Structure 1
């Protein structure tokens, strides 16, 4: 099944004619899928031919259609009693091979080492064409890649890709350490569309969620254990005991039931709203006051960057690549993993001081616009594409 996806605001095209790019990515609400789809749209807007290949349409693009592309090609499935479990890598490699041959694909951008880079390399072997660039996003190295069942496969995918990028210096260094490899890993940060992610000026939008005197805190994630969503509730409970406040929990995942149970136990369930997952988070971020990110490991922290673009300071754990995005004491505060008291104190120090809040909110926006704009980041990917093909 092939369906066109919408185009984004046009960026200048890198010369030498249009590229023909296939994209493999996770299509759910996780950060890697968001980055992959946003990048694919930007590359297409720069005048290039982009084809997404996946089991479902990417999360932030579902239900949107345009005749201008990029295009989506669905990976087929096959049920057979002999197979105890599905084989997503083989199915993706087969679908990608068809797209490579039918669409004249020059290169495949695989977001995540397993299964996407492995599928791209398999399709490259089948077709005898299409260079492979792999972007590492975090858990493909820190979680999946360290699992003994996948470690050799992950190392092979990284070592044999034509080019490898990582979303932070932390992740690039950790990849070399975990797999004992010396190959070049180019660091290209994630980006945020600051025209879309900006403060919501309509006061009525905020009044639908919180009263004027209430501080509005927010957390967005896929509710996996690494996100430490129970720490979010612990921090909020401490804040709410000191001042009127509400908490928005955006996302879904295995830790949600435990989070709801803890909210009840802490007595904050009436001021905590579990909103589930939805693609257009900019509206809810644009009315929020403070973003909480207590994760035990984040290779970058895309949701934090999106919050910063909306003039929302961040209180986060000092973990992984977060310090490459959040500057302690400038656009937010950092504390040690699990130190909910320090995070609550930091949150209160921001929310109780209008002047400090104003300074941090402005610094957050300035960081997003000045260091992580698409106009700065997307050309780095286009340059990497060109170098591979040359």
Structure 2
């Protein structure tokens, strides 16, 4: 084994948390001198700049008429994995999302035989709690997880959900490596000047709430709007909506019905929004399912308290009554009360903000997480870990 690893990463190249975390792992490993190959449909959104250590391999599907609508992506992905592994002599194939990436990795290994790289599967949430446990996919998802050389999850919640959802014994090792954040990029630098183009008449003391997600039903975007409306009823405020998805249009329609559309800015998918996040006052996350809550972690790193639902991995991230507040799913009034308790008491908000930043620096920095991933890779390559 040489000091430099030859690593491939497969992820969904979208604004979703799994793709962002996978890309940041690859960038960090390249910074440590390893060769990193991204195998994906498109260039991951955070794969910025150029590097002699980073390579991109596009997965293309056949346009043959008989194969249309037949779901050929897993086969095309497995073929590209075989190709890259053969030519590049990969040490590690790190796949993010069990369905279909872990399955494609297993198929590639069956073809490569003794020349196959070791497979690391990182679970991220709906691949195990929703899609993977669907009866149509459960057997193959369970099989693919069990055939991985190592499996990681970002939270204790997701590890337990994987064991229980797939009937996997707890003796089967799933290593918890929490998601992380670049604390230099996501820092508590508050400059409300960036809000002026969005809200020209913004008062200096007017609270700004923020939500970042893919606007899927599981995010309960209607609850974001309802919480904002309840807070505004008692204290005028503004709302930043960063992201896009199927729930955006219903949310915009509801705000027009309430006459609040002028107090809300929908910004769509944004790669660079840190200054807006840091200039806000409270982050809202009323999801009905979250394996971790990466967007909330980014807010906490900026010193922004989080008001969220007490589900999934969020309680492992948000310290109730110290860095934010947690409510039952659908408790709009309770979430609004928590928001008001923060924005109406500046010293209390400042204390929450300070503790939020401190907790992130203690538990969720990038470098310690990369140390754990790198150590895992090296154990696998040395043959001292895995199954």
Q: TM-score, normalised on structure 2? A: 0.94
Distance 1:289 1:321 in 2: 23
State the match for 1:74 in structure 2. 58
State the match for 1:244 in structure 2. 236
Distance 2:198 2:362 in 1: 30
State the match for 1:365 in structure 2. 357
The answer on 1:141 being equivalent to 2:128 is yes
Which stretch has the larger CA shift, 304-313 or 78-87?
Answer: 78-87
From 180, 193, 196, give the equivalent of 1:207: 196
The answer on 1:177 being equivalent to 2:164 is yes
State the match for 1:20 in structure 2. 6
From 321, 325, 331, give the equivalent of 2:317: 325
Alignment check: 8 A CA contact 2:20 2:45 kept: yes
Distance 2:176 2:228 in 1: 34
From 159, 162, 167, give the equivalent of 2:146: 159
User: Superposition RMSD on alpha carbons, in Å?
Assistant: 1.3
SS, match of residue 82 in structure 1: helix
SS, match of residue 73 in structure 1: strand
From 50, 56, 60, give the equivalent of 2:36: 50
SS, match of residue 160 in structure 2: helix
Alignment check: 8 A CA contact 2:191 2:275 kept: no
State the match for 1:216 in structure 2. 208
State the match for 1:188 in structure 2. 177
Alignment check: 8 A CA contact 1:40 1:50 kept: yes
Deviations 1:95-116 (A, max 9, x none): 1111111111011000000111
Following superposition, the deviation at residue 201 of structure 1 comes to 4.1
State the match for 1:259 in structure 2. 251
Distance 1:23 1:372 in 2: 21
From 108, 112, 120, give the equivalent of 1:127: 112
Aligned residue-pair number: 374
Distance 1:34 1:341 in 2: 32
Following superposition, the deviation at residue 368 of structure 1 comes to 1.2
Distance 1:219 1:313 in 2: 12
Following superposition, the deviation at residue 142 of structure 1 comes to 0.9
Alignment check: 8 A CA contact 2:282 2:304 kept: yes
For residues 218-367 of structure 1, what are the structure 2 equivalents within 5 Å?
Answer: 218-367=210-359
State the match for 1:37 in structure 2. 23
Alignment check: 8 A CA contact 1:215 1:289 kept: yes
Distance 1:79 1:126 in 2: 24
SS, match of residue 52 in structure 2: coil
Following superposition, the deviation at residue 262 of structure 1 comes to 1.6
| Aligned CA distance change for structure 1 residues 273 and 203 (closer, same or farther; 3 Å) | closer
Following superposition, the deviation at residue 143 of structure 1 comes to 1.2
Following superposition, the deviation at residue 295 of structure 1 comes to 0.3
SS, match of residue 51 in structure 1: strand
Alignment check: 8 A CA contact 1:213 1:244 kept: no
Alignment check: 8 A CA contact 1:221 1:250 kept: yes
From 85, 88, 93, give the equivalent of 2:73: 88
List runs of 5+ in structure 1 lacking aligned partners.
1-14
Alignment check: 8 A CA contact 1:335 1:343 kept: yes
Distance 2:77 2:35 in 1: 19
Distance 1:386 1:16 in 2: 10
Distance 1:59 1:368 in 2: 24
Which consecutive segments of 4 or more residues in structure 1 shift more than 4 A? Answer: none
Distance 1:49 1:240 in 2: 51
Following superposition, the deviation at residue 301 of structure 1 comes to 0.4
Deviations 1:331-388 (A, max 9, x none): 0000001000000000000000001100001111111111100122111111111111
Distance 1:202 1:259 in 2: 28
List runs of 5+ in structure 2 lacking aligned partners.
383-387
State the match for 2:385 in structure 1. none
Alignment check: 8 A CA contact 2:207 2:238 kept: yes
Alignment check: 8 A CA contact 1:222 1:252 kept: yes
